[in-house]
Amino acid sequence: MVGDRERLRHRAGPSVRLGAGALFVSVSSVLIDLAGTTPGTAGFYRCALSLPFLAAAARAERRRHPAPDRTEILLGLVAGAFFAGDMLLWTRAIDEVGAGLSTVVVNVQVIGVPLLAWAIDGERAPLRFVLWVPVMIFGVALTAGLVDGGAAGTDPVWGTIHAVLAAACYSVFLYLLRRTGQGGRPVQNYFVVIASAGVVSLAAGALWRGVDLTPGLRVIGWLLGVAVAGTVVGWLLVATYSPQLPSHVGAALLMLTPVGALVLSAVVLHERPTVLQLIGAVLILAGAYFSANRIRGRRRGRVRGRRGPGRRCP
């Protein structure tokens, strides 16, 4: 009983911090919308502006831990490339198929990351998580406004293709991000990830809708907010604490991102959420909580049933 409580308490800390990271990440979508620039420009500057902060944090970590080995650096470079692919493809998909459907598709990472962990690492997700996945996906659909007419776009076919590719990139990125932090050097490895993402965003963005290297102070200001809130604080929390949790728990907690974006849009952009969007947010919160936590009452009942004298099993 005491051991169960200690394990729950030990997991609660990383879960709360990773959940907080997901909420900070949700700031990015609103600020990028306010910046109003191309995907390549946003992807490059959100990485480049965050590197000085991450370099300072990585240097502090270097005093306590050695530098990453070649395998970790390689994983970080690959993870950064997939992160850049996710940023570019998802932003493009928003124009082509609408924000609603693209948000739903990209959040199938809640399935993709545990599948990768199962296929590569042999890590199995519990049944309660599997049962809650459809509820969370439906909640994302409601929150994104897809059910009440939020789906719109200029090219639905290519938008769907780009959204699916973005979801694949996002899933691989999250899986590799978790792997890079398992060696006890999450900040140094994350610096490699973001440096790689910045280079790939610059190169790929230059070939796809272009990169504006002088976007102006207004755009730089919004992208600096994206860099600090989303890339430095948000994703660094995810990179640090996702290795300490099962893959399905991290994937479920990252579903809080659309909830945070909904709240921030209401506060900053003065968008009024509909009843269906609020219901969707509740479903996501419930799914993230119940799929990542066991029902304590049931656990206590089982413990009493095993330890109670003269207690017969039903």
pLDDT, position 307:
42
pTM above 0.85, yes or no: no
Contact 212, 222 (CB under 8 A): no
Q: Residue 77: its pLDDT value, please?
A: 96
pLDDT averages per 10-residue partition of the chain, 314 residues: 52 86 88 86 95 96 90 95 92 72 77 92 89 88 69 70 90 93 90 96 89 94 95 94 91 88 79 83 87 51 41 37
Q: Where are the alpha helices (DSSP H) in the chain?
A: 2-25, 27-35, 39-48, 51-62, 70-97, 99-106, 109-121, 127-143, 156-180, 186-207, 217-225, 235-241, 247-253, 256-268, 275-292, 296-307
Identify the pLDDT of residue 5.
52
d(CA 86, CA 47): 13
User: Residue 211: what are its φ and ψ, rounded to 5°?
Assistant: -125, 125
**Residue 143: what pLDDT?**
81
pLDDT the model gives residue 311 = 37
User: How many C-beta neighbours within 10 Å does residue 187 have?
Assistant: 20
Name the residue type at position 36.
G
The reported pLDDT for the residue numbered 227 is 95
**CA-CA-CA-CA torsion sign (94, 256, 42, 108):** negative
